């Protein structure tokens, strides 16, 4: 692939993704923005009032005072009711999310946390509440047109607009929260994020040159946790300045403890990048994220299917929906080169090598646990057989082995579990809908 077509790493990508996994950033920025907007509106109100007073247009000032007093009743009502409304709405929503997490997987809570509409709704609600408080502070008890110093007419209008926006967002927010109660949208969201990770990965060739000799290793310092992602642009710049190649030793999603080697330095004898700079480019957190983790989507789909196949839930249809998406994702990988990802600098020189799951790893991740739990559910075993047959038609010869292995193991397990030949034949008949 030519340097022109290579995807360049975006320097702020990790920061943006980490902020998306938080729920405080958007509301905090919104509150600051509200303060700025309120200051601008207050300045506009003051300028309008002073202009009318300079022209001695007392009648217009009285009209403004009358309008502002009418709006004050609404603003006061908004101020007293908005915080209660926020508490009730989000309490009910959190209960709904908790129920969805119990039915599907605890990892889907991150869908709610990362949801833009959830953050926007919460931010606008809080912003409307703060704006109403600020507007109330601008009211002047003076009613004499020549002595009054503040008539918050523009501020009141902004508060009313914020309330209207809050109502519209409330409808959208409730709609999305109800979607989290349904398996289809949840599975679709996980699949969409999985494909987003795949789209951001550089397409690798098969003729990568061998790495120079390893000169040093950089160990992890700090708290133990899951390797969430690495700052690709920062590592590429550090390696280019020193003329070396960096290799990420653990995979994204691995659990690391202090002292675990995370980066190997190849080449560049006597001139190694700063260990502090390298360690700052490695992000460790409490749980995995989608940012650079190719297998995390399959992990979530498998978890949802396993919970659905448990004796306490017994919902094979949900498992079939997960298998549908697993087959969809694996089919997209059928002809894509996998293995080590090579990130290059502007000159096209490899500067960072990042290990990603191989084809067999992804197939095992997506199918192993579901296959083991599908023995007692003909609906799932039939869908697995159809999915494996479809994938065997798509993949090249070199990638058939893991699929054939899973197909053979599924057939052995079903034959061992079902004594009747007719039941075995029914459970092993390929069916893209399971049993329809």
8-state DSSP, 168: H
Count the alpha carbons within 13 Å of 97 in the hemisphere toward its beta carbon: 21
8-state DSSP, 358: -
Cα–Cα nearest to 217, from 259, 188, 257, 183: 259
Give rounded-to-5 percent helix, strand, coil for the chain.
60, 10, 30
Distance CA 270, CA 280 (A): 22
- The CA distances from residue 324 to 306, 313, 318, 319, in Å, are 14, 19, 10, 9
Distance CA 172, CA 155 (A): 26
Q: What is the pLDDT of residue 222?
A: 83
Q: What is the pLDDT of residue 8?
A: 46
Strand partners, 342: 353
C-beta atoms surrounding 165 within 10 Å: 16
C-beta atoms surrounding 200 within 10 Å: 16
Distance CA 387, CA 395 (A): 12
The pLDDT profile of the chain, 436 residues, written as one tens digit per residue, is 333 444 444 444 667 777 877 888 999 999 999 999 999 998 998 888 878 777 777 788 788 878 877 788 888 888 888 888 888 888 877 887 787 777 788 777 888 888 888 889 989 999 999 999 998 888 877 777 777 777 888 888 899 899 999 999 999 988 888 887 788 888 999 999 999 888 888 766 555 678 888 888 888 888 899 998 888 888 998 888 888 899 999 999 999 999 899 999 988 766 777 777 888 888 898 888 888 888 999 999 999 999 999 888 888 999 999 999 999 999 999 998 888 888 888 888 888 998 889 999 999 999 999 999 998 899 999 999 999 999 999 999 999 999 999 999 999 999 999 888 999 899 999 999 988 7
């Amino acid at each position: 692939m030519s340097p022109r077509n290579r995807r360049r790493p975006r320097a702020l990508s990790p920061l943006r993704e980490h902020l998306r996994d938080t729920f405080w950033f958007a509301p905090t920025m919104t509150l600051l923005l509200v303060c700025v907007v309120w200051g601008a509106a207050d300045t506009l109100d003051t300028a309008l009032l002073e202009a009318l007073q300079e022209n001695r247009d007392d009648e217009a000032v009285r009209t403004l005072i009358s309008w502002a007093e009418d709006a004050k009743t609404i603003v006061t009502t908004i101020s007293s009711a908005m915080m209660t409304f926020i508490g009730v709405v989000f309490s009910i929503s959190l209960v709904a999310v908790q129920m969805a997490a119990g039915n599907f997987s605890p990892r889907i809570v991150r869908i709610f946390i990362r949801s833009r509409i959830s953050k926007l709704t919460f931010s606008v609600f809080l912003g409307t509440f703060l704006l109403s408080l600020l507007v109330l502070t601008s009211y002047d008890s003076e009613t004499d047109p020549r002595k009054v110093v503040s008539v918050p007419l523009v501020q009141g209008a902004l508060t009313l607009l914020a309330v209207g926006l809050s109502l519209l967002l409330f409808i959208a927010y409730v709609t999305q929260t109800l979607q989290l109660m349904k398996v289809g949208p949840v599975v679709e969201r996980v699949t969409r994020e999985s494909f987003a990770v795949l789209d951001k990965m550089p397409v690798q060739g098969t003729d990568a040159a061998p790495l120079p000799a390893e000169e040093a290793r950089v160990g992890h310092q700090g708290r133990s946790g899951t390797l969430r992602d690495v700052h690709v642009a920062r590592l590429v710049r550090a390696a280019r300045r020193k003329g070396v190649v960096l290799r990420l030793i653990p995979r994204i999603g691995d659990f690391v403890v202090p002292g675990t080697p995370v980066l190997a330095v190849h080449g560049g004898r006597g001139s190694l990048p700063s260990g502090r700079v390298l360690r700052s480019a490695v992000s460790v957190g409490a749980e995995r994220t989608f940012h650079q983790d190719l297998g995390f989507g399959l992990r979530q789909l498998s978890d949802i299917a396993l919970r659905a196949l448990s004796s306490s839930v017994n919902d094979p249809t949900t498992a079939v929906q997960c298998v549908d998406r697993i087959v969809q994702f694996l089919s997209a990988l059928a002809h894509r080169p996998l293995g080590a990802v090579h990130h290059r600098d502007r000159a096209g020189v490899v500067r960072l090598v990042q290990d990603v799951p191989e084809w067999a790893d992804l197939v095992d991740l997506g199918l192993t646990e579901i296959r083991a739990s599908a023995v007692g559910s003909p609906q799932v075993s039939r869908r697995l057989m159809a999915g494996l047959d479809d994938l065997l038609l798509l993949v090249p010869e070199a990638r058939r082995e893991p699929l054939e292995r899973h197909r053979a193991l599924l057939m052995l397990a079903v034959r061992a579990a079902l004594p009747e030949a007719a039941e075995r034949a029914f459970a092993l008949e390929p069916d893209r809908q399971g049993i329809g």
